[in-house]
Amino acid sequence: MNQSQKIAIVAPPLLVVMMIGIFQAAKRWLGAKRAWYAGFLVYWPIWCILFPWALLGRKRIKELFRGKRPTASGWILFAIPSVMTFIGLSRMRYNQPDLRARLAAFLMPLVMGPLEEILWRGVYIELFPGNIVWGFVWPTFWFALWHFAPGTVSTIPPVTLMAGAAGFGACWSWLALKTGTIRWSTASHALTGLVRALG
C-alpha cells in the first residue's frame, strides 16, 4: 500500500471529528442556521478541493470525469437517489423557506455534487480501482458518518441524514466503481440535491 492510499484510509475519521467540532463551534458563535453554511465553507475548500488535489493532482482529478457509460443497472443506480428523494418529499411536510434560503438550496447541489464526488468517490476509485473494500465500502461508510456533523446543526435529525447518505452513497460509489468515472455519480448527486431543493 502506497503513501496516498494510507492517507486516504486514515483521513475520513479525522474529517468527521474535525467537522463535528467546526459545526459545533460555528453553532455556538453564529447560531444553527448560519453554522450549516459556515461548516460547508470549511469542508468544501479543505476536504473536497485541497485534500483530493494533494493526493491526486489536478490532471488526475480531471480524468475522474472520463470513463464509460453506465449499464442498464447503472442507470437504475443513477436514478434511485432522485426518485427516493422525490418520494420522501411527497410524504413529508416542510416549512417553505424564504427566497434567499430557496436560492441557496438550489445552488448548493451544483457545488456539493461535484466536490463531494471528487472526495468520496473519485479519490477512492482512483487509488483503489476495482477494490470493493477500499473503493466502495470504506468511502460509503464514512460518507454516511460524515453527515452526522452537519446533522448536529440541521432541522433534519442526524440519523436521518446519515441513513439517506448511506443509501445514496452506496448507489454513487457502486456506479463510480463500475464505470471508472465520477461523471455519472456527480450528475446523480447534483440532480438529487436539486430535487430536494425544488421540493
Q: Provide the pLDDT for residue 83.
A: 94
**pTM recorded for the entire structure:** 0.91
Q: Provide the pLDDT for residue 101.
A: 64
Q: Provide the pLDDT for residue 100.
A: 63
Q: Provide the pLDDT for residue 74.
A: 94
Q: Provide the pLDDT for residue 75.
A: 96
Residue extents of the structural domains in the chain: 3-198
pLDDT digits (tens, 9 = 90+) for 162-171: 999 999 999 9
Torsion of CA 157, 47, 82, 90, to 10 degrees: 20
pLDDT digits (tens, 9 = 90+) for 83-95: 999 888 766 554 5
CA distance 158 to 137: 20
CA distance 189 to 166: 13
Q: Provide the pLDDT for residue 92.
A: 55
Q: Provide the pLDDT for residue 99.
A: 59
Q: Provide the pLDDT for residue 97.
A: 54
Report the chain's terminal Cα–Cα distance, integer Å: 44
Ranges under pLDDT 70 in the chain: 90-105, 199
Asked if 74 and 181 touch (Cβ cutoff 8 Å), the reply is no
CA distances from 87 to 80, 82, 131, 170 (A): 10, 9, 32, 18
CA distance 57 to 62: 9
Q: What is the DSSP string of the chain?
A: --HHHHHHHHHHHHHHHHHHHHHHHHHHHH-HHHHHHHHHHHHIIIIIIIHHHHHHHHHHHHHTT--PPP-HHHHHHHHHHHHHHHHHHHHS--PPPPHHHHHHHHHHHHHHHHHHHIIIIIHHHHHSTT-HIIIIIHHHHHHHHHTHHHHTTSSS-HHHHHHHHHHHHHHHHHHHHHHT-SHHHHHHHHHHHHHHHH-
